[in-house]
Amino acid sequence: MKNVSMITRKAVVISSVLTLNPLTQPDDAVGIALVYQKAFGGDPWNEGYICPVCQTVFADESGLWGYCPHCQEDKGLLIKILRYWPVNKILTDFYQEMVRPGAICLTMKDGCSVIAFAWGYEVKVNFSLDKYLEAPNLHKLIKGTFMYLDECAVLPAWQKNGCGRSLLSAFIDKSREAGKNILLRTLRGQAMHKLALRQGGGIIQNISRDRVIIMITTQ
């Protein structure tokens, strides 16, 4: 009898980067919000849940507790912890940013589910951008209009599969077509910091102990 060994391989089939029109693809906008929630609920941000009383922030998996352990231990109160990033809050921010000049939203999908995204828009460097980016005096370091890569996230299960790299490359191509260089703000040493440096980016400003502003020249 022939012994046929079945080799099952987890197929890694990732779509190419797609440009999303948030106004005609509302289901994908919700998909983006769910990726956002999962990505920022895990390491290194751990913005999964928050206690509305003591303001303690918990990583995504802590949501299993349901109630704030601190309020329960200290005050005997059963306080339900809430989503740090509720879907409606993410969608509100997303749509407000998608109507800015030059707005771009890129996604990657597994089948029809969004697994990664990047979005950005044009910004003019001035005093109000310094405040927006919490980057004092950035306007003294650089001048002009840039594409700002505002958010980029990959579903934790899909991280380390090249999604971030593909999204950043596509964002660079779009920015080049628009004749703009790119600005982004990220955590030092994290995935996006490394990707941006690999794509020729350079640190423009260290804005805090762990945050940096990076510029990628596209021209």
Q: CA 183, CA 195: separation in Å to the nearest integer? A: 13
Work out whether strand 145-154 and strand 182-187 pair parallel, antiparallel, or are unpaired: parallel
Q: Give least dist CB 39 to Zn ion, A.
A: 24
Tell me: does residue 51 bind Zn ion (CB under 5 A).
yes
Q: Give least dist CB 79 to Zn ion, A.
A: 5
The residue (of 51 and 216) whose beta carbon lies closer to Zn ion is: 51
Q: CA 135, CA 121: separation in Å to the nearest integer? A: 18
Q: Taking Cα atoms as reference points, which of 173, 211, 207, 205 lies closest to residue 190?
A: 211
The residue (of 51 and 167) whose beta carbon lies closer to Zn ion is: 51
The residue (of 34 and 53) whose beta carbon lies closer to Zn ion is: 53
The residue (of 34 and 77) whose beta carbon lies closer to Zn ion is: 77
Which range touches Zn ion (CB under 5 A), out of 54-62, 96-104, 107-115, 133-141? 54-62
Q: Taking Cα atoms as reference points, which of 179, 174, 176, 34 lies closest to residue 104?
A: 174
By rule CB under 5 A, what string of x and - marks binding of each residue 70-99 to Zn ion?
xx----------------------------
Tell me: does residue 141 bind Zn ion (CB under 5 A).
no
- Which of 53, 59, 129, 203 forms a contact with Zn ion (CB under 5 A)? 53
Q: Give least dist CB 54 to Zn ion, A.
A: 3
Neighbours of 172 (CB within 10 A): 21
Q: Are 121 and 110 in contact (CB under 8 A)?
A: no
Tell me: does residue 68 bind Zn ion (CB under 5 A).
yes
Distance of CA 187 to the CA centre of its chain: 12
Q: Give least dist CB 55 to Zn ion, A.
A: 7
Q: Taking Cα atoms as reference points, which of 165, 166, 169, 181 lies closest to residue 219?
A: 181
Q: CA 98, CA 21: separation in Å to the nearest integer? A: 9
By rule CB under 5 A, what string of x and - marks binding of each residue 7-46 to Zn ion?
----------------------------------------
Q: CA 113, CA 93: separation in Å to the nearest integer? A: 21
Residues contributing to the site for Zn ion (CB under 5 A): 51, 53-54, 68, 70-71
